Amino acid sequence: MTPTEPRRRELPLWLIAAILLAIAFGLVIGSDESYRVIFSAVATGIWVTVFVTVIAYVLACLIGLGIASASLSKHRFLREAATFYVEIIRGVPVLVLLFYMAFVAAPALVALWNLVTAPLQATGLIEPASVRDFDLLWRAVVALVISYSAFLSEIFRAGLQSVDRGQIEAAKALGLTRFKVFRLIILPQAFRTVLPPLGNDFVAMIKDSSLVSVLGVQDVTQLGKVYSSGTFLFFETYNVVAYVYLLMTVSLSLAVRGLESRLQRHRDFIGDRR
């Protein structure tokens, strides 16, 4: 028996306690009329929260991977530019970026668009753009993408650097192109390394997506705020809001842990066969 086996067989008491708490509160929601009404009012924002989180996270991962690759580039300009981006963005709070994107960057982009397309507007081919055309939902998504791409790039950079250099050199010696080396050798191994922190950041983004409520985006938090301000049921409303977020974050955390365990078992199986 290896030292890790007893830990795997331990009874997850925290999980049992969390499930019992979720069931108990679910029964309260089902049996109490006021809680049912609150849950119905808040639940309509779940899809907005999920949409903002998924879209922003996927885009942040793609941009973060590109920035991580640039930070490991042989070209100094790319390395310096990537480092500059990461250091500056990581030093700005997400909420400040939301306000900046909503009330500074968006009007500036619209003004720039109108300036560039002025000749086409003069001929009547296109209409002048308005700041209102840049939906607040997408301003929030862009802000989250910018913020999280800086943090995710550092995760990807650590994962890429964790791959044994000898494997890369061996793949190149076999005649594989850079793209195939990255896709077949580097990326699969780096993914296993960065999976836990990527999962943690996804959970963090679900919680940080609540910040979009300051722009009036109709997510779970905003709907809860609107309902509680109209009914003065602050205690009950924010109990339901917290319950919804806990269901999403705990479920996702368990899914990430399950995937991580499965990858670990697969790695151990391959190691035993060797």
Residues 41 and 69 in one domain: no
pLDDT of amino acid 238 = 92
- 142 occurs within a structural domain: yes
Residues 71 and 37 in one domain: no
pLDDT band at residue 11, thresholds of 50, 70 and 90?
low
pLDDT band at residue 4, thresholds of 50, 70 and 90?
very low
Residues 196 and 133 in one domain: yes
Poorest-confidence range of 126-140, 206-220, 255-269?
A: 255-269
Residues 193 and 82 in one domain: yes
Residues 194 and 241 in one domain: no
- Selected residue with higher pLDDT from 264 and 171: 171
- 50 occurs within a structural domain: no
Residues 69 and 156 in one domain: yes
pLDDT of amino acid 32 = 85
- Whether the predicted pLDDT of 54 surpasses 90: yes
Q: How far apart are CA 244 and CA 220, in angstroms?
A: 8
For residues 78-85, give the mean pLDDT.
93
- 9 occurs within a structural domain: no
Q: Which residue has the tokens 């920035």?
A: 67
Residues 126 and 76 in one domain: yes
Of all residues in the chain, the percent with pLDDT exceeding 70 is 92
pLDDT of amino acid 267 = 60
pLDDT of amino acid 271 = 54
Residues 26 and 104 in one domain: no
pLDDT of amino acid 94 = 92
Mean pLDDT, rounded, of the chain: 85
pLDDT band at residue 62, thresholds of 50, 70 and 90?
very high
**HEC readout, 245-274:** HHHHHHHHHHHHHHHHHHHHHHHHHHHHHC
pLDDT tens, position by position, 178-234: 777 777 777 778 887 888 888 889 999 999 999 999 888 889 999 999 999 988 989
For residues 166-179, give the mean pLDDT.
77
Residues 63 and 139 in one domain: yes
pLDDT of amino acid 6 = 47
For residues 168-175, give the mean pLDDT.
77
DSSP states along 144-207: HHHHHHHHHHHHHHHHHHTS-HHHHHHHHHTT--HHHIIIIIIHHHHHHHHHHHHHHHHHHHHH
Range with top average pLDDT, 33-37, 94-98, 170-174, 265-269? 94-98
pLDDT of amino acid 155 = 92
pLDDT of amino acid 10 = 64
- 2 occurs within a structural domain: no
- Whether the predicted pLDDT of 67 surpasses 70: yes
Q: Which domain holds residue 241?
A: 15-45+219-274
Instruction: Phi first, then psi: give them for residue 92, nearest 5 degrees.
Output: -110, 125
Q: Which residue has the tokens 């000749």?
A: 119
Residues 28 and 80 in one domain: no
* Domain final residue pick, 217, 234, 262: 217
- 7 occurs within a structural domain: no
The CATH number that applies at residue 76 is: 1.10.3720.10
pLDDT band at residue 1, thresholds of 50, 70 and 90?
very low
* Domain final residue pick, 171, 200, 217: 217
- 156 occurs within a structural domain: yes
Residues 80 and 92 in one domain: yes
- 152 occurs within a structural domain: yes
Name the domain count of the chain. Answer: 2
- Whether the predicted pLDDT of 60 surpasses 60: yes
- 158 occurs within a structural domain: yes
Residues 76 and 208 in one domain: yes
* Domain final residue pick, 217, 240, 262: 217
